[in-house]
Amino acid sequence: MKVDIVTIFPEYFAPLDLSLIGRARTSGLLDVALHDLRTWTHDVHRTVDDTPYGGGAGMVMRPEPWGEALDAVAPSGARLVVPTPTGAPFTQAAARELANAEHLVFACGRYEGIDQRVLDHAATRMPVSEVSLGDYVLFGGEVAVLVILEAVVRLLPGVLGNADSLLEESHTDGLLEAPVYTKPATWRGHDVPEILRSGDHGRIARWRRDQALLRTAARRPDLLAALSPEDLDKRDMTL
């Protein structure tokens, strides 16, 4: 996958050298290029913002540098992702969809956001996804891009050592994952549930499913309500 990130803070992305994303980059599974938006300014102060039409607090990112930046890094075939608190909620399903793209371009907003015409114009020549990490407001899009990229890149074939991890985790089947444990069997007076030490794979699978259902019902009833009857088996119904 090819990824271009346009930002006024390229140094925010140092973590992309680390851990599994870093390894995906060195192995060639992921090609990330960082671009300083100020490269596409033409004044001595390298200005990227201006006052908002209609008045109000804060500054808005000017369309000219963004237009030139996207002309340069987003040829046809790319998909533009713009983090914004006004976007559609970012979910595992959205991550799966983005993971199918060959070329993602991320536009990191700052201040009060990017002049809307940049996105409207981009949408005339490429798919544009405006995505929100949640119902709160960050300083800028950089952290959001790190989150989105991490969720997407771990879905790329070959990035995770054991691809089965993707099948057994939260949000894959619409549920939260059951609690997990490792050695020792007893720690500070707390025991690992006996069934997980039984070696009975059928009972363990059922226990995990039950725990996932109970946890989801307690913490995220909205997820449970969104499941269709076909997603549930007979035993699920009796819980």
The site string for ligand SAM over 67-96 (x = CB under 6 A, - otherwise) reads ----------------xxxx----------
Among residues 108 and 176, whose Cβ is nearest to ligand SAM? 108
Element (H, E) at 225: helix 221-226
Q: How far is the CB of 183 from ligand SAM (least distance, A)?
A: 39
Residue 53 interacts with ligand SAM (CB under 6 A): yes or no: no
The site string for ligand SAM over 5-44 (x = CB under 6 A, - otherwise) reads ----------------------------------------
137 labelled ligand-binding: yes
* Alpha carbon separation from 82 to 77, 97, 199 (Å, rounded): 16, 15, 47
Please tell me the distance from the alpha carbon of residue 223 to that of residue 200, in angstroms, as a whole number.
Answer: 29
Residue 65 interacts with ligand SAM (CB under 6 A): yes or no: no
Burial letters for 162-178: b for 16+ Cβ neighbours within 10 Å, e otherwise? eeeeeeeebbeebbbbb
HEC assignment per residue over 156-216: CCCCCCCHHHHCCCCCCCCCCCCCCCCCCCEECCEECCHHHHCCCHHHHHHHHHHHHHHHH
133 labelled ligand-binding: yes
143 labelled ligand-binding: no
Among residues 97 and 112, whose Cβ is nearest to ligand SAM? 112
* Residue length of the chain: 239
Among residues 8 and 30, whose Cβ is nearest to ligand SAM? 8
Residue 37 · residue 142 · CB < 8 Å: no
Please tell me the distance from the alpha carbon of residue 62 to that of residue 53, in angstroms, as a whole number.
Answer: 11
Choice from 47, 92, 132, 170 touching ligand SAM (CB under 6 A): 132
Choice from 141, 174, 213, 216 touching ligand SAM (CB under 6 A): 141
134 labelled ligand-binding: yes
Residue 63 interacts with ligand SAM (CB under 6 A): yes or no: no
- Interface stretch with ligand SAM, choices 37-45, 66-74, 138-146, 168-176 (CB under 6 A): 138-146
Residue 216 · residue 176 · CB < 8 Å: yes
